[in-house]
A and B are shown apart, each in its own frame.
Chain A
Amino acid sequence: MKENPYYNKRLRHWTVSLMVVLLSACIVPAFAQGPTEHIVKGKVVDETSSPLPGASVVLAGTTTGTITDGDGNYTLILPNVSGQSVAIEISFVGYRKSVNSLIAVAGQSTTIDVKMEQDQGTLDEIVVTGSTLRSAKRELGNTINTVNSDALVRSGSNNLFSALQGKVPGAQITQNSGDPAGGMTIRLRGVKSLQGNSDPLYVIDGVVSSNSTVNVSQTALVGQVGNESLGNNRMVDINPSDIETMTVLNGAAAAAQYGSRAANGVVLITTKRGKSGAPRLTFSTSVTMNELRKKVPITTYGKQYGFAALRLHTIGGISPAQFNSIANPTGTSSDYIPQPGETFVPITRDGALTYLRSNLVDVTRYDYQDQIFRKGYGTDNNISLSGGNDKTQYFTSFAYTKNEGIIKGTDFTRYNFRVRVDQRLASWAKLSAGISYSNSFSDEKANGNVFYSPINSVNITNNIYDITQRDAAGKLLAVEPTRVNPLSTIEDMNFTQRVNRTVNDLQLNLTPFKGFGIDWVMGVDTYSQVGQSLIKPYPYQASAGLPPERYPNGYAANASNTVMLFNSDLSMSYERQLTEDLKLNAIVGTNYQFQRSEFQQAQGQTLAPFITTISGASSTTVTANYGLDQFSLNGYFAQATFGYKNLAFITGAIRRDKSSKFSPSQANQNYPKLSASFVPSDMEFWKNNVGDKVISSLKLRTSWGQAGNLTGLGSYDRFWQFSPVAFLGRNTIVPSSQLANQNVKPERMTEFEYGLDIAFMNNRINLGATVYNQQIEDLVVNRTLASSEGGTSIVNNVGTMENKGIEIALNINPVRTRDFNWDVSFIYSRNRNKVLKLGSPTIAIATNSGAPVYLIEGAPASVFYGTAIARDASGNPIMTSAGGLQSEKGTQNSSVTPLDYTPQRDANGQPTGANIRKIIGNPNPNFTGSFVNTFSYKNLSFNFLVDFVQGVSVFNADKRTRQGVGIGDYIEKEMKGQLPRGYVYAFYNTEEWRVDDGSFVKLREIGVSYEFKNPIKGINSVNLGFTGRNLISWDNYNGFDPEPNSGGNSDIVRGVDFGNVPIPRSYRVQLTAKF
């Protein structure tokens, strides 16, 4: 092998410097050069004897290696090994590693042809465990789950996370909005933080990448929402077709390399790489159709109480004094003058008497849903070219996707470019560089949390107006006073967002001598979001009288968010066979992360005619602000694994972190980890007595570890902020009502997990089960203060919380013949979350929907805590004398124990006393799971995925709104006499009535595809597939969809249905050609 000696030497000197600077350890380098070489070559094929391109061929214990070309052939030159016994390891993701021993002799060559055995799920599968770490499954003391590109393709979605739904045990993956760029959240093993998000750390090819949600396009509603987190989260920028595998590290112990950012778990995303051989071209194109799966019940029954102009005709009443003034007028303006035909019925609720209208008048009702929904179409196109030789491999791709939402005027467009180049610099040095760029654009409508959003304008407007009517100039007309015409939300409001993003990495892998490796990854993820908001002045403001919060004279804003994340990971590994039976793997490393985001915003109101940007806003209304957030994190870690006879492994690790978010006294944090695994099935005793046919493998594992979480604490939360406000042209500073504790520290999770992986009948049945217990301490809570203390809250480490759960994954391969294959897999996850300590008995989480979301000591996070329906001992509602539901009454025993109350009954058995509050719903599911079935017969394959979430509550705010406004299903029954008059009025203030069961079973994916092999010369294969997503939901939910999340990407406000866009049903046809 010819090498550039100058180049080679230089690299080696770098290595020496690195070691001296970073390790300060004395490792004697053994760099003796020799002329002797031994050549190993051969062909690698899979079980069907098809060539396996891209398999890695490595001299064991070094990074000296190559990969197979397009025909599965390889040639590996072994330098400096003459006379030694060496092992050649051939590996490929999803296949069992093949180890081949030989004695190297100078100048000779050996041929080793290998047939690889499929190995997914078995113990020798190689999995990614960190940016620079890889490990065989058998050595791990914790669960790790990998989803590969096939599953991403089958999902029929152009969102990366959709493909994970139903495929990862322990992960709850929720789509937060049916918008075409709608956010998705992943929660691994439950909620982890009460203040920050529980989003895992995302690492793409070693680059710590942002999935944050920053609202730049919906700035009009910022002052009107609470803890909801609105907007797209940024993984939407990633093209799923570029992804090779996604590895999910659920637990704290698994993620030790990421220390104080690992408590939420880590998702490691590996993109596709080139394989040596002739250039390979892959092209795919698809067409998607999205539609509304189910409408909500809106009455078109042509009646209403009182008179046509009466607002909230179902619940709008008059006082006893007003009612008495009808018969006995006082002659003053407080007298009520009834409309012709108006009659009344007295209703008592919570001790207060009101007179509701009891007469019905004729009206014409419309279903406005028909005006705001549509069928949306989309297309997704990808082209990739890859190839290379044994030294250089490349992968390039371009993608264009556009998807229309089911709300008129919403769409999402994205362009992606990606290049990855791998270059072998020397037999012991490899360089890899990845560059990606994406440009996305989304057209949005107002977020559901405001009453000028498409869905809420339908829910909150009495539907007796023909909204399609226009004046002579073609302008829309007013509907109910103070309400926005639903068509205005579509035609006269625009919220857009454009994102430019690039994620780049540079990786250097060195093996200066046998057993010793250095890996360095540097990555940068940087993007800018530019958002614009426009609400045109309403042409009908004079008659509608819209309140200022709906911006009657128009609103325009722009906002931008510029983000940069940088990370550098350097690690050194050393592998050594200590004795014949005992092997050591040691790794030390450092990690540096820096993150900066700059947010700028300008907004104004009262727009000049025809002008649609902030430039047209009236000068007195314009405000501007700027925010800078930055923090850094430095970490050092060391890890050692001892393996005994490849049967038992024990790993210990420690990470020390220092972050600028904390004061110097708290900045240094240590996170230890210990794990062990044991594979009894590989013991001679076991092999001789049990055998592959019964139990092919058994692994027992356990791990204990600590990890931290920084998301709960804003970069400046440890300071009491004195913030400027715009006020009357004079410098004004307001001390924050949120007080601070200088010594606040990172949240810390201690996790203990144990489990087993067992395979039966020649790996035909695989079962993995894990039990875990997470104790999260020092939770950062913005705890409520008595305002007499000088603030209304303080950010402090007062919380503790636990997550306990079980994850089970079962894969069965009942039939495997040459032509027919049947795979079934079943996942079951169950998590029990409980807030143990909070600093105060309850913390109310502000929401805009009226959902009473609370954190309560002794209860799961984010429960709904509010007024309850009065029930008797057997759980049946106690009806009022008028036949209505009513709130439970009695006494709340003590504010310190908010869950205790004593119901009271009067002589008639009716509830009496004050309204009590209790937990009326829990948005944390009882259990979740999925069932995946795949059949393939020759080139035809058919698969479906059924996803289920059971035992979960939804706060259905919209259901009640529809009844109060008088357009819902209950009020229709009331008007038709099927329910007593006042039924809706009776339950209107009882919050429990709004809590619905959100359990569902969904046909998440169903697909059929056919592969034409070599259909015409020059084309290797053509695959034609049909996929349906979210086609059917079996549920009992009175709304669009039981998977709502008006809290957006918030991990604290969950399970609230308030104006959010339902998840569409979609159909896709996809054609993929490989050349």
Chain B
Amino acid sequence: MKYTNMKSISRLTSVIIMLFLVSCDKEYINPSSASSNQVLTDVNGLISVANGLQYKYSVGQASPEYTVISASGLLAKELTVLNAGNLNELLLQQGGATVIGNNGIVTNLWNQSNLIKSNAKLILDNLNLVSDQGTKGALQAHAAIYKALALGNLAMFWQQAPLSVEKNATFTDRISILKEAISTLEAANTELAKASISSLFTSRIAPGIDYANTINALIARYALMTGDYDKALTAANAVNLAVSVKSVMNHDDASQNAMFFSSFGARNNTEPVDANFSLPVALQTLPADKRIAFFINSTAGKNKGNASFFVANTTAVPIYRPGEVTLIKAEAYVRRTSQDLNAAVTELNKIITKAPSSDALGIGAGLTAYAGPVTAPAILDEIYKQRCIELYLSGLRLEDSRRFARPAAERGRDFLPYPFSERDNNPNTPADPAN
């Protein structure tokens, strides 16, 4: 046999061995995604997941930015459906027994809030790997804010929700959920105060949030809902209300403003019912109220909601509005054990007389001071009215309507039923509320 023959035989043999043996154990990994043990063991990975929380919260029709504003807006009758083909929205507007656990908005609001809660937990559980306090504190603050917002959403729309992230999670009443939100925020506040925010964090996190003020504003919001008025007042007083301070979730052409994109950009889904903030005649504001023009687009053919924080794909949406903080103070002064009605009126007047230019977000009534009776019921009515206007389309209307014990007719439902996806897969899901 010739040498060349030997050579070709050995070549062929090696090709065959390669084809049939070596290739067997190849494992293919997706280069366009990462794994949990990569992302959650790296500081930059954690910060990118922190941005992911905001993305999940604010982008798309499934996001709370759309579902919270729409569900509260439709149930508390801020919004009306323009096209009966939008069945999920239509049924929320009709309310009552027509809202069942297969409603897409109800399901999205529940699912996304639970996912944000569990994704925030991924960060909070892995903070120990961050050595720099300036990064660690800010990361904790960021995750805590989104966890609190997610818990807050669950507590505002459902009577109970699970706190833990696990199979067959048990349900906890809404007040305990809100208290967990508050304690998460308080823990983050402590860590955040230990060091100034690192440049690493600032350079990698999506800009827009003022952490310390947002934490206090949210503590005040949820403390008010739990009836802890002293805590609400203390936290509200800690929020800097200067014109220069605001806290927003930003949007751009690729991560669009969810309400604008899915609803207010056209007249095909929903829009504000009227220019009176859907208030009964007795609570309607004066035509001179500058907030009407701020919140309502009166151009013919335009969606009435195409204004305020829903002007374009790129409009930023505030996490809290300064007016909310002031109105929390007013309400706390009325409702706390050591009631102070005059202090409440003082806070209330800050809202009624505020010029748009002295509000960080440009919201201002520009009216004359409160002249009604200085009694608790009258002041609470005025606070409710001002909240409905100042916090129009912020997703708080349903909660407010319940807390101020407004007539049931002003709400489609008090609480939402649990989504079928939860009920079918978690035997601990409680019975649906009748209304």
Contacts and interface: CB of A to CB of B under 8 A. Distances in A.
Given A592-B23, A715-B30, A21 B13 contact: yes
A737 interface: yes
B425 A784 contact: yes
Interface string B2-35: 0001001100110011011001111111111111
Contacts of A331: 281
Interface string B247-262: 0001111111000111
B144 interface: no
Given A634-B20, A791-B115, A895-B423, A733 B39 contact: yes
B267 A482 contact: yes
A786 interface: yes
Given A634-B24, A840-B425, A720 B266 contact: no
Nearest to B45: A733
Interface string B407-425: 0000000000000111111
Interface band, chain A: 35 or more
B52 interface: yes
Which of A331, A549, A715 has most chain B Cβ within 10 Å?
A549
B11 to A, nearest CB: 10
B50 to A, nearest CB: 9
Given A734-B49, A735-B39, 5 more contacts: A548-B256, A548-B262, A628-B32, A730-B51, A790-B118
Interface string A623-642: 10111111110100000000
B83 interface: yes
A728 B255 contact: yes
B85 interface: yes
A70 B281 CA distance: 98
Interface in A586-603: 590, 592, 594
Which of B8, B24, B56 has most chain A Cβ within 10 Å?
B24
A914 to B, nearest CB: 6
Contacts of A21: 13, 16-17
Nearest to A731: B48
B276 A333 contact: yes
Given A545-B267, A547-B268, A722 B97 contact: no
B204 interface: yes
B84 A731 contact: no
Nearest to A20: B13
Contacts of B420: 842, 895
A842 B424 contact: yes
A1055 B317 CA distance: 42
Interface stretch (A198-206, A287-295, A311-319, A681-689): A311-319
B278 interface: yes
Contact of B13 (A17, A632, A634, A786): A17
A18 interface: yes
B245 interface: no
B206 interface: yes
Contacts of B1: 9, 13
A726 B98 CA distance: 38
B132 interface: no
Given A548-B265, A730-B51, A787-B421, A632 B165 contact: no
B49 A722 contact: yes
Interface in B172-224: 204-207
Contacts of B426: 786, 788-789
A955 to B, nearest CB: 15
A316 B86 CA distance: 12
B274 A332 contact: yes
A594 B38 CA distance: 27
Contacts of A621: 253-254
Nearest to A18: B16
Nearest to B17: A21
A249 B122 CA distance: 49
A620 B253 contact: yes
Given A548-B266, A720-B36, A989 B9 contact: no
Which of A634, A789, A844, A914 has most chain B Cβ within 10 Å?
A789
Interface of B: 1, 5, 8-9, 12-13, 16-17, 19-20, 23-36, 38-39, 44-45, 47-49, 51-52, 54-56, 59, 83-85, 87, 94, 96-98, 100, 102, 110-111, 114-115, 118-119, 122, 161-162, 164-169, 204-207, 250-256, 260-262, 265-269, 273-276, 278, 281, 284, 301-303, 313, 420-426, 429
A896 interface: yes
A17 B7 CA distance: 12
Given A620-B254, A634-B23, A895-B420, A715 B425 contact: no
Contacts of B255: 726-728
A571 to B, nearest CB: 13
Contacts of B96: 351-352
A620 B250 CA distance: 14
A844 B24 CA distance: 37
B274 A334 contact: yes
Contacts of A915: 100
Contacts of A17: 9, 12-13, 16
A668 B49 CA distance: 36
Contacts of B17: 21
A625 B32 contact: yes
A332 B421 contact: no
Interface in A351-394: 351-352
Contact of A733 (B48, B275, B429): B48
Interface in A538-565: 543, 545-549
B87 to A, nearest CB: 7
**3 tightest A-B contacts by CB?**
A547-B266, A786-B426, A732-B51
Contacts of B51: 727-728, 730-733
Contacts of B87: 850, 989
Contacts of B115: 737, 787, 790-792
28 contacts: A334-B273, A350-B98, A481-B301, A482-B266, A545-B266, A547-B262, A547-B265, A547-B268, A621-B254, A622-B254, A625-B32, A628-B30, A629-B30, A632-B26, A658-B24, A716-B28, A721-B34, A722-B39, A727-B206, A728-B252, A733-B49, A786-B167, A786-B421, A786-B425, A786-B429, A789-B169, A840-B424, A842-B420
Interface in A88-137: none
A798 B7 CA distance: 53
Contacts of B267: 481-482, 545
A577 B363 CA distance: 96
Given A716-B33, A722-B33, A590 B20 contact: yes
A786 B98 CA distance: 22
Nearest to B260: A548
Interface in A884-907: 895-896, 898
B253 A605 contact: yes
A727 B55 contact: yes
Contact of A731 (B36, B44, B119, B167): B44
Interface in A780-811: 784-792
Contacts of A620: 252-254
A330 interface: yes
B33 A723 contact: yes
Nearest to A543: B301
B52 A735 contact: yes
A725 interface: yes
Contacts of A734: 49, 52, 55-56, 119
A790 B19 CA distance: 42
A618 interface: yes
A883 interface: no
Contacts of A605: 253
A618 B314 CA distance: 14
Nearest to A736: B33
A732 B46 CA distance: 10
Contacts of A549: 261-262
A31 interface: no
B266 A546 contact: yes
Which of A351, A606, A618, A785 has most chain B Cβ within 10 Å?
A785
Contacts of A311: 83
